[in-house]
Structure 1
Amino acid sequence: MTVENAGERLRELEAGASLPDVLELFDSLPPVRVEELAGTWRGNGIDTSNPFDGLLERFGWYGKRFGGPEDAHPLLFSARGGRVVSINPAFMPVGLMLGIADKLHNPVVAKLFRLLMPLMTTAKPRARLRVVEYRGVSSAAMVYDALPIHDPFRKVDDDTLLCAMDLRGLAEPFMFVLRRDAA
């Protein structure tokens, strides 16, 4: 698949798609090298009927930042005053979140998260970048320090990644897109 075709197909899928369709594109994309990831990336989920669909966005998810193999910030969120802050994922009870994901879409929960966000910020990296084999391809992935999560990446183009959040206990991956932040 050409870069133009991959980008066009991704834009179609971002409106919402079946998981098999998104994984078909994911599997067709080339791997990413760890060195290609440096910088800040804006994220958005792809609606595939996953329990996490729309959840991060409701809480103000911005994306991810990569400074190198040992310097990955997996959860950037928009904060007051246009700032972007890094949240320590250890404060995210993903096991509990899986069990009550439908209740987390409540606007009151998002407001509570925004109030507590200053207590969860960190300047330290909370993940690492490694090459991981996922779905038969070895590619760069982000491996969380405190949670049973890794996010394998595939390259759509130099500034766009299609990603799969692979979480222990989640039957199917949560699919999302990262776009290099030009700012």
Structure 2
Amino acid sequence: MDVLEARARFQELREQDGPVDPAELDAIWAVLATVRPEEILGEWKGGEFDTGHPLNGTLAKAGWYGKTFAAVHDAKPLVCRNEKGELYSDRELGMGEASLWTVEFRGESTATMVYDGRPVLDHFKRVDDTTLMGIMNAKGVPAEGPFYYFFLHRAPDAPHEASRAEEGS
């Protein structure tokens, strides 16, 4: 599978109703490009792949919207909507917030969100300029998983880092 095939299959699986095979997601992950923490700063809207992982559906019940990476050492992993529809960082659910690091996962170094209060790591790879694929890893999870697979799409009103740099010129 090349990167164009991976992107197309990613989109199909993202829109698929029903279960997604983690092996297919792993095949896509294997060909995607790694990212650096500085490249993913901004606001991201999230979603999950239904792989049968025990976490599937849990974040939706909490009103999960996505993640915000304000700075490398200021990451909000659980941005949720309250009953009024307002966004907030659910520090209670996340047991704090997080930071971004470059961490090796499956033999590649890529941007990884390290939670402050939980032994949890979210690894990221680039699908395209506005989409990231994520794999949640945690202490005690065997090398073969099961992992929680999710995606992030740059929030519609959030400027891309490249456009922020142009604005500052």
Out of 30, 34, 43, the position equivalent to 2:33 is 30
> What amino acid does structure 2 have at the position aligned with 1:10?
F
Tell me which of 151, 155, 162 is aligned to 2:133: 162
The gaps in structure 1 that reach 5 residues or longer are 94-124
Q: What is the match of residue 128 of structure 1?
A: 99
Match of 1:174 among 142, 145, 148: 148
Structure 2: runs of 5+ lacking an equivalent = 158-169
Q: What does the per-residue CA deviation read over 1:131-152, in whole Å, with 9 as the maximum and x for residues that have no partner?
A: 0000111000100011000000
Quote the residue 1:9 is aligned against: 9
TM-score (norm 2): 0.82
* Aligned residue number for residue 165 of structure 2: none
| In 1, Cα distance between equivalents of 2:94 and 2:126 | 28
Aligned to 2:75: 72
Instruction: Supply the distance in 2 between the matched residues of 1:41 and 1:139 (Cα, whole angstroms).
Output: 17
- The two structures, once aligned, show a CA RMSD in angstroms of 1.7
Aligned match of 1:86: 89
Aligned pairs, number: 150
* 2:148 counterpart letter in structure 1: F
Aligned to 2:121: 150
1:7, distance to aligned residue in structure 2 (A): 2.8
* Amino acid aligned to 1:178: L
Secondary structure, in 3 states, of the residue corresponding to 2:51?
coil
Whether the 8 Å CA contact 2:94–2:117 is kept in 1: the answer is: no
Using structure 1 for the length normalisation, give the TM-score: 0.76
* Greater RCO (CA < 8 Å, at least 6 residues apart): 1
CA distance in structure 2 between the aligned counterparts of 1:92 and 1:178, rounded to whole angstroms = 18
| Residue-by-residue CA offset, 1:147-168 (whole Å, 9 max, x unaligned) | 0000000100111000001022
Correspondence 1:139 to 2:110: yes
Identity of aligned residues (%): 36
1:1-32 C-alpha deviation (Å, 9 max, x unpaired): 23x43332112222231111111111111101
Q: What whole-Å deviation, never above 9, does each CA across 1:25-68 have from its counterpart, x for those lacking one?
A: 11111101111111110111101111111211122110100011
Give the ranges of 4+ consecutive aligned residues of structure 1 lying more than 3 Å apart after TM superposition.
none
The structure with more strand, counted as a fraction of residues:
2
Please state how far the C-alpha of 1:174 moved relative to its aligned partner. 0.2
More helix by share: 1
